[in-house]
Amino acid sequence: MLVVMKKHATEAQIQQVEHRFAEWGIPVQRISGVERTAWGTLGNHRPFDPDKIAVLDGVDYVHQVTEPYKLANRSFHPADSTIRIRDVEIGRPDEVILMAGPCSIESEAQINTVAAIVKESGAKILRGGAFKPRTSPYSFQGLGEPGLKLIRAAADRYDLLVVSEVMDKSQLPLMQDYVDIFQVGARNMYNYDLLKELGALPKPVLLKRGISATLEELLMSAEYIMAGGNPAVILCERGIRTFENYTRNTFDVSAIPTLQARSHLPVIADPSHGVGIREYVPAMARAAVAAGAHGLLVEVHPDPDQALSDGVQSLNPAQFLMMIDQCRQIAAAMGKQL
Ligand code: PEP
Ligand code: MN
Q: How far apart are CA 318 and CA 211, in angstroms?
A: 30
- The atom of ligand 1 lying closest to the CA of 310 is 3
Q: How far apart are CA 163 and CA 76, in angstroms?
A: 29
pLDDT number for residue 42: 86
Q: Say if ligand 1 is within 6 A of residue 238 CB.
A: yes
pLDDT number for residue 261: 98
Q: How far apart are the CA of 114 and the centre of ligand 2, in A? A: 15
CATH of range 2-63; options 3.40.1390.40, 3.40.630.10, 3.40.47.10, 3.30.70.1140: 3.30.70.1140
pLDDT number for residue 204: 98
Best mutation site among 151, 273, 297 for ligand 1 pocket (most ligand atoms within 8 Å of CB): 273
Q: How far apart are the CA of 75 and the centre of ligand 1, in A? A: 30
Q: How far apart are the CA of 209 and the centre of ligand 1, in A? A: 10
Give Cβ neighbours of residue 20 (< 8 Å, ≥ 6 apart): 52, 53, 56
Q: How far apart are CA 191 and CA 3, in angstroms?
A: 30
Ligand nearest to the CA of 99: 1
Rounded to whole angstroms, what are the CA distances from 204 to 72, 118, 231, 324? 14, 21, 8, 25
pLDDT number for residue 71: 95
Q: Say if ligand 1 is within 6 A of residue 274 CB.
A: no
pLDDT along the chain (338 residues), means of 10: 94 96 93 92 82 96 89 94 98 98 98 98 98 94 97 98 98 98 98 98 98 98 97 98 98 98 98 98 98 98 97 98 98 98
pLDDT number for residue 301: 98
Ligand nearest to the CA of 239: 1
Three-class SS of residue 252? coil
Strand (E) or helix (H) holding 61: strand 59-63
The packing angle between helices 255-262 and 215-227, to 10°, is: 40
- CATH 3.30.70.1140 in the chain, residues? 2-63
Q: ∠ CA 216-49-237 to the nearest 5 degrees?
A: 15
Best mutation site among 208, 209, 251 for ligand 1 pocket (most ligand atoms within 8 Å of CB): 208
Tell me if 94 sits within 8 A of 336, measured CB to CB: yes
Q: Say if ligand 1 is within 6 A of residue 209 CB.
A: no
- CATH 3.20.20.70 in the chain, residues? 83-333
Q: Say if ligand 1 is within 6 A of residue 210 CB.
A: no
Q: How far apart are the CA of 134 and the centre of ligand 2, in A? A: 9
pTM of this prediction exceeds 0.75: yes
Three-class SS of residue 224? helix
DSSP H helices, the chain, are: 11-24, 51-54, 108-120, 145-157, 172-176, 192-199, 215-227, 255-262, 271-275, 281-290, 317-333
Tell me the CATH number for domain 83-333. Answer: 3.20.20.70
